[in-house]
Chains A and B, each alone.
Chain A
Amino acid sequence: MLLSSDDSENEFDDPQLVLTRYKKARYEAALSCPHNYLRACQELIELFNIVAGPAAGRVKKPLLAELSADTRLAIDCCDGVLRNATICRSLVSEAVRALPQAKGKELQRLLKARSLKAAREDSKAIRNSQQHDVAPAVEQMPHDILGAVLDELDPFSLAAAACASRQWHEEASKDHRWQPFVAAVLSPVSTPQQPQSWRELFCQAAVGGHARMAYHRSRRRMLRKTLLWTDLPPCREAPDFKCVTPRQVATFIVKGSIKELSDSEDSEGDDDASAVSGLHRDMAPAVNRLWRTFPASCKLALPETALDTGQQ
């Protein structure tokens, strides 16, 4: 669709160069981590879109081979997350339109087998959890274990746990547990040496809305929605990159020039400059910073909403 306007003046680039740029985008790496999956699929869809167009010429054949290989990978990598499953389905339907019939059929078969398997695993997991997750007899948990568990908690969760049962209340109200929290919130100057009760002191600070408490509070909210984003490397979902749509990336890969960016219908005015610079940076040698990378422990905690970048 994008091509219709400018394919008369823009010949497609040399196939070799196109393939190099495609390799640089490292889709195989992006597809294998769930948090990059969506964006990678969107860009692949746009690529299919362009290649399926009327004027694809000699780029078409080598690029389609790569694309179908990556689509197969996408089907393999698709995890249980609904968002990813949906985009995977639309990627396959896009692929079916672009690829020769036999190959398209094969991909569809693969997708079907894969989703059947996923559904089976799902229902098995649900059955298992229903079987096992009958109220455990935590009632008689020994004091020292409960104490060790409560020691791991932040003050807000600790206070909530204290309301759960008598034993938990007794254990959670033990005063030594609250001393470090007071130390974290109040400055040493304003802290009395030997207060009546550390817990009381902390409660007062909390009710009084102490300044450092506000920080703890919002941090807790963030933690509940999980993950702090600030200290992560720049990536495709970073704000300065959001203005580059998947289509622009796809156009860049196929045509090799950024000129189309200003022609493309959905970027205009101020966005252009940042879009182009973002793309430049993105296609620069530091390609391994293209996609968001996480330490393994963060993966499970990824919130759904934070990943919906909402481009286009």
Chain B
Amino acid sequence: MRNIVLRANDGADHVISVAAASLCKTVASLLQDLEASKGEDTDPLIVPLPNVCNCTLQKVLGFCEQQRAFDELCTASPAAQQADLTRQIQAWQMEYMQVSTDELYHLVMAAHYLNVPRLLDLCTDAMAERIRGKSPAQVRECFGLKPSLSPEEEEEIRRSNLWALN
């Protein structure tokens, strides 16, 4: 089977299987295009990713491999164990999302760039979880947003949303 090499922006190479790479829609479509134009090829395909750093790429690939393994388990196990398996997957995802906001941000950008829909869903969920129930100031602090609104504008927005800010 053909191997795929993903190269992070600092030159670090990660080899993944085609099966795991199929979760990254960007890589998968690239692979399809290549196969359509050149036919089957056994050389490893090198994909440079100029805006993904090494540690984020590692994390993304960890997700792909793990999801792949879970998928195989899902198809192999009988229906009775599905619920148990779902719980297992949820537990793993919760563990996986224990990252700082900065890492989460880079992860969501990488997931967007590589087009991994499931990881993107997971990340947006986690981000929403970090916003939920916070005051505007807390949100700003948590995400490191610079106050881009002028005081008058902010006052205006505050007033229109007063019902939510008690």
Question: A residues near B, CB below 8 A?
Answer: 129, 132-139, 141-142, 144-145, 148-169, 203, 206-207, 220, 223-224, 295-297, 300
A165 with B105, Cβ < 8 A, contacts A145-B124, A206-B163 known: no
Sampled A-B contacts (7; CB under 8 Å): A135-B102, A136-B143, A137-B144, A157-B131, A157-B132, A164-B140, A223-B133
Question: B residues near A, CB below 8 A?
Answer: 87, 90-91, 94, 100-106, 108-109, 112, 120, 124-125, 127-129, 131-136, 139-140, 143-149, 153-154, 157-158, 160-165
Contact B157 A203 (CB under 8 A): no
B91's partner among A158, A163, A296 (CB-CB below 8 A) is A296
Chain B residues within 8 Å of A134, by CB: 102, 144
Nearest Cβ distance between residue B154 and chain A, in whole angstroms?
7
Q: Helix, strand, loop or mixed for chain A's interface?
A: helix
Contact A136 B144 (CB under 8 A): yes
Nearest Cβ distance between residue A170 and chain B, in whole angstroms?
11
Q: Give Cα distance in the complex from A134 to B141, angstroms.
A: 10
Contact A149 B133 (CB under 8 A): no
B135's partner among A148, A160, A166 (CB-CB below 8 A) is A160
Contact A148 B120 (CB under 8 A): yes
Q: Give Cα distance in the complex from A137 to B162, angstroms.
A: 28
Contact A133 B102 (CB under 8 A): yes
Chain A residues within 8 Å of B164, by CB: 155-160, 206
Chain B residues within 8 Å of A165, by CB: 140, 145-149
Which chain B residue has the least Cβ–Cβ distance from A166?
B148
Which chain B residue has the least Cβ–Cβ distance from A142?
B112
Nearest Cβ distance between residue B65 and chain A, in whole angstroms?
22
Which chain B residue has the least Cβ–Cβ distance from A150?
B128
Q: Give Cα distance in the complex from A132 to B100, angstroms.
A: 7
Q: Give Cα distance in the complex from A295 to B94, angstroms.
A: 13
* Besides A157-B131, A161-B136, A164-B136, 11 other A-B contacts (C-beta < 8 A): A136-B101, A149-B128, A152-B128, A159-B163, A160-B135, A161-B131, A163-B157, A164-B143, A296-B94, A297-B90, A297-B94
